[in-house]
Amino acid sequence: MPKLDHDTLELLLIAVTAICILFQTILLSAMFVAVRKGIKSLSDNFDDLRSSAMPIIDHTRGFIERITPTVEATARNVAEMSQTLKETTTTVSASASDIAQRVNAQSSRVDSMVSGALDALDRAAGFVVETVNKPVRQLSGLLASAKAFVEALGASRPPQRASHPVDESEPPSEPVI
């Protein structure tokens, strides 16, 4: 085996380093080519995307420019309608409150009128009952007394009662007339 001295060892290390640098250069060159191909492919894809997206973007821009005045007018109209609706709601609410107060006042007035009429009707009914009942009671009393008088006059003598108890085994005796 040859003797490795310092110069030989140095030469051997320089050769290994040179091979590593050469290998690194080849690897970096391959990476450069791959990245360049990737950039080229990405650039082509981006150009395709741009060519297909630009008409859509241009069309959208034109559409937005055409529709913007209509949207603004619609927004103004909605704001005006909202304001009008708010004012109308306030007016209707005030009117409804006023009507409710009037109805309440009228209902209490009608209630007092009906109560007064019913009270008067009750008093009148009581007066009529008292006015009719008193003569009817008097007439009824007169008729009852006349009936009693006529019955008393038309009745025969009352039957006499026996002084001894009736025996149940004996047939009842006929009253003496």
pLDDT, one tens digit per residue, over 95-109 is: 999 999 988 888 888
> Rounded distance, CA 169 to CA 157, Å?
28
> Rounded distance, CA 136 to CA 44, Å?
125
Backbone angles phi, psi at 125, to 5 degrees: -65, -40
pLDDT per position as a tens digit, 10-68: 999 999 999 999 999 999 999 999 999 999 999 999 998 888 888 888 888 888 888 89
Grade residue 1 by pLDDT with cuts at 50, 70 and 90. low
Token pair of 132 as six digits: 């009719």
- The per-residue pLDDT for 25 is 97
> Rounded distance, CA 19 to CA 86, Å?
88
Q: Is the pLDDT of residue 86 over 70?
A: yes
Q: Is the pLDDT of residue 78 over 70?
A: yes
For 48-105, give the DSSP string: HHHHHHHHHHHHHHHHHHHHHHHHHHHHHHHHHHHHHHHHHHHHHHHHHHHHHHHHHH
Mean pLDDT of the chain: 85
pTM for the model stands at 0.36
Rounded-to-10 torsion of CA 108, 113, 119, 125 = -140
Q: Is the distance from CB of 141 to CB of 125 less than 8 angstroms?
A: no
Which residue in the block uniquely carries the two structure tokens 């009117």?
Answer: 95
Q: Is the distance from CB of 166 to CB of 172 less than 8 angstroms?
A: yes
Could you tell me which of 87, 109, 89 has the C-alpha nearest to residue 97? 89
- The per-residue pLDDT for 91 is 93
Grade residue 170 by pLDDT with cuts at 50, 70 and 90. low
